[in-house]
Chain A
């Protein structure tokens, strides 16, 4: 099997899912062990995007037509695109969450002068 034929082959779905699981696990571990609030925050984003990857993978697996070529094919099975649509929702919510979360982080830093999560353990400021 030469390189060009390798490129023309489709990447197996399993690889995508393994990557997604790897990214998600990295996120979980980062979330659990990191002490900096911003890193923790980034870990959350990582987990979200790992999930997004799974969504897209499964959508691709269940969608048996080329979306660029056949619009009719897609309209015929609308449930199959839901995975892709979901990804957009997650991205929008993640963006909003990033805005709010960063604002909170800035506020916390201004009052506490620290971003170490172990020292931010009171509800009141």
Chain B
């Protein structure tokens, strides 16, 4: 076996950063806060990097077997249930960790510039480090329960960071919304965990996988139920239909948070979870079909909403939901390595897009409305060029990152028979929409004429531009590793990639189609927003119904409000509030209080403060005792002794 890898250090560094900045941050000088905040993810990243070589080359035992590190003390040990604090490092978690700590570190650097004037500087970084602690725990977890701890933890960090500017009512509301919607997903996840425990007797990923491998005939049934429960959890965390509604509102948080948590890392936890428990899904074709359908539906659904949004961050948020849909689609067609590949490239280009958008917002002095931007190309050239790299990458032009990863998913979908062709077609239309709305954003923000008279637009400091440049390079080059090599590397963890298609050059044709729709999307955006800007508004007025439907996000929030939130409110107010709390609980409390008050009012008369009345009672008491002791009751009243004994309980 190799030398120990010290996996525990990976989450512990950010945790130390969280404690230091969280407790002492407000008293430390700013440079020290910055140093602590940056060293924590960097150290974790270094530990992950130092572990990476152990997985390369077939000679290493880690190339085939995961590395397990178990805390010597048991975590939960009740009866036959034993759960340890165990961390697992295999190809899958290694890739995730590299993304989480690497991109996380870059976004920490960016935040130093972005948050420099914020009074909550130390608080912000302590939350960011807390997020990294939980996220690395989630990724490294060797059993479902520990993963759930990380899962809940990132939800907490997400809540804290969305509501970071809690003085703003919308931000506080958005934080609550994210947390509550995620709770619905977590409910599914928890039920899944209980079912796993009941049916497998173990919660370790290796144990579950071993049981599934041992029983290849075990299909569907309870496995479908478990898989669907886990999927519900994943749709909550990864913002898929029907629980995606929290993510657009989460844009109320600071932009680096949107980049790190709500684009690059946390929201991909659902995809990671499905890839991690892929054995379950592989044994349930129905659940896989649901995953693929949810993914494809979310992809096109969110993309259509993204077409008409005017807030630069909301466009990106819907784009994130749409891209996560692609990843679910990939998982649903059992192309886990393709899904993870897209997860990685998406982390690069979407973090880039968000950070660049943050730089734009910074330059515009807080303005997020695309309609008020324009002509920023000359003012902020570095942001412009890095953003361009991100836009071209997400649109799916070769040889940039998303071309390879999106292509791998669509290719895998296409090979799944007739249903797969439908999924593929949906994915292709989504690619068209993606290309259109990203170029729309690009034209509106950077080209054309300046639409606001704010002349102070300025380029951001280098702490913000540096990460942009690095992420731009990664967005351009990230896909060059190719799905073949990436899939082969991940194969020990998520299973081998499917066999090549029998149709010759199929992948080439499909790639051609993808590039064609990307070009088409760009062309439409070019015609509408560059050549004839008035066309866009004409189109919107020509189709008022469709435009309003999209601009109002299909009225999903309103629908949930009417069907769930309002009935729940009414139920809470009248049934729970008035009947249960007011009448039953309140009544019981009032009754108790009333009895006590009444008894007190009666007994109060004894406590008059009058010395002679006390003395009289004392004398009366003494006389009663004497009477009881001295009078020969047996002779006076023959039955009295029995009566006294009965009363005394003998």
**What is the interface of chain A, defined by CB distance below 8 A to chain B?**
28, 31-33, 40, 117-118, 120-123
Residue of B nearest to A31 (CB): B615
* A–B pairs, 16, beta carbons within 8 Å: A28-B619, A32-B612, A32-B615, A32-B616, A32-B619, A40-B611, A117-B610, A117-B611, A117-B612, A118-B610, A118-B611, A118-B612, A120-B611, A121-B608, A121-B611, A122-B609
- A sample of 10 more A-B contacts (CB under 8 A), given A118-B611, A122-B609, is A31-B615, A32-B612, A33-B612, A40-B611, A117-B611, A117-B612, A118-B612, A120-B611, A121-B608, A121-B610
Chain B residues contacting A122 (CB-CB under 8 Å) are 609
Q: Give residues 609-643 of B contacting A (CB, 8 Å).
A: 609-612, 615-616, 619
- The minimal Cβ–Cβ distance linking A117 to chain B, given in whole angstroms, is 5
B-side contacts of A120, CB under 8 Å: 611
CB distance from B404 to the nearest CB of A (A): 87
Instruction: Please report the number of residue pairs spanning A and B whose Cβ atoms sit closer than 8 angstroms.
Output: 22
Q: In the bound complex, how far is the Cα of B619 from the Cα of A33, in angstroms?
A: 12
Residues from chain A with a CB closer than 8 A to the CB of B609 are: 121-123
Which A residues touch B619, using CB under 8 A?
28, 31-32
* Chain B residues with CB under 8 A of A123: 609
Interface string of B567-586 (1 = CB under 8 A from A): 00000000000000000000
* Closest chain B residue to A29, Cβ basis: B619
Please measure, in the bound complex, the distance between the C-alpha atom of A117 and the C-alpha atom of B608, giving whole angstroms. Answer: 12
Q: How far is the CA of A121 from the CA of B609 in the complex (A)?
A: 4
A residues in contact with B612, CB < 8 Å? 32-33, 117-118
CB contacts (< 8 Å) of B616 on chain A: these are 32
Inter-chain CA distance A28–B615, complex, in Å, is 9
Distance A123 CA – B616 CA, assembled complex (angstroms)? 19
Residues in chain B within 8 A of chain A (CB atoms): 608-612, 615-616, 619
CB-defined contacts of A40 to chain B, threshold 8 Å: 611
- What separation, in Å, do the CA atoms of A28 and B612 have in the docked complex? 11
Q: Name the residue of chain B whose CB is nearest to the CB of A119.
A: B610
Give complex CA distance A28, B610 in Å: 16
Q: How far apart are the CA atoms of A123 and B615 in the complex, in Å?
A: 16
A28 CA to B617 CA, complexed, in Å: 12
**Chain B residues near A32 (CB, 8 Å)?**
612, 615-616, 619
A117 contacts which chain B residues (CB < 8 A)? 610-612
Complex CA distance for A46 and B480, rounded to whole angstroms: 112
Residues of chain A lying within 8 A (CB to CB) of residue B611: 40, 117-118, 120-121
CA distance A73 to B616 in the complex (A): 45
* Distance (whole angstroms) from the CB of B271 to the closest CB of chain A: 73
Report the minimal beta-carbon distance from B535 to chain A, rounded to whole angstroms: 88
Find the A residue at minimum CB distance from B609: A121
A33 to B611, CA, bound (A): 11
Give Cα A117 to B616, complex, Å: 13
Using CB atoms, name the residue of chain B closest to A28.
Answer: B619
**In the complex, what distance in Å separates the CA atom of A32 from the CA atom of B620?**
11
Closest to B610 in A: A121
Distance from B619 Cβ to chain A, minimum over Cβ atoms (Å): 6
Which of B608, B610, B611, B619 has the largest number of chain A CB atoms within 10 A?
B611
- Residues on B with C-beta less than 8 A from A118 are 610-612
Closest partner residue, chain B, to A34 (CB atom)? B612
Distance (Å) between the CB of B343 and the closest chain A CB?
75
Complex: how many Å from CA A121 to CA B613? 11
CB distance from A34 to the nearest CB of B (A): 9
The CA of A121 and the CA of B619, in the complex, are separated in Å by 19
Separation of A33 and B616 alpha carbons in the complex (Å): 9
CB-CB under 8 A from A33, the residues of chain B are: 612
- Residue numbers in B under 8 Å from A31 (CB-CB): 615, 619
Q: Smallest CB–CB gap between A72 and chain B, Å?
A: 38
Whole-angstrom distance between the Cβ of B356 and the nearest chain A Cβ: 74
Distance between B605 CB and nearest chain A CB, rounded to angstroms: 13
Q: Which 3 A-B pairs have CB atoms at the shortest separation, nearest pair first?
A: A121-B609, A117-B611, A121-B610
Query: Distance (Å) between the CB of A43 and the closest chain B CB?
Result: 9
Question: A14 → chain B, closest Cβ, in Å?
Answer: 16
Alpha-carbon distance A121/B616, docked complex (angstroms): 15
| Alpha-carbon distance A118/B609, docked complex (angstroms) | 9
The complex places the Cα of A120 from the Cα of B608 at a distance, in Å, of: 11
State how many angstroms separate the Cβ of A112 from the closest Cβ of chain B. Answer: 13
Q: Which of chain B's residues have a CB closer than 8 A to the CB of A121?
A: 608-611
- Complex-state Cα separation, A117 to B609, whole angstroms: 10
Query: How far apart are the CA atoms of A121 and B612 in the complex, in Å?
Result: 10
Task: Tell me the complex Cα distance, A33–B612, Å.
Answer: 8
Task: Give the distance in Å from the alpha carbon of A33 to the alpha carbon of B615 in the complex.
Answer: 10
With both chains docked as a complex, state the minimum distance between the C-beta of A116 and any C-beta of chain B, in angstroms.
10
**Cα of A123 to Cα of B607 in the assembled complex, Å:** 11
Q: Write the nearest CB–CB distance from B140 to chain A, whole angstroms.
A: 67
Distance (Å) between the CB of A105 and the closest chain B CB? 12
Minimum CB–CB distance from A42 to chain B (whole Å) comes to 14
Per the bound structure, the CA–CA distance linking A106 and B7 in Å amounts to 81
Which residue in chain A gives the minimum CB-CB distance to B611? A117
Distance in angstroms from B166 CB to nearest chain A CB is 48
A120 to B614, CA, bound (A): 13
A104 shortest CB reach to chain B, Å: 12
Residue in B closest to A122 when the chains form the complex, CB atoms = B609
Least Cβ–Cβ distance between B392 and chain A, in angstroms: 85
What separation, in Å, do the CA atoms of A40 and B615 have in the docked complex?
A: 11
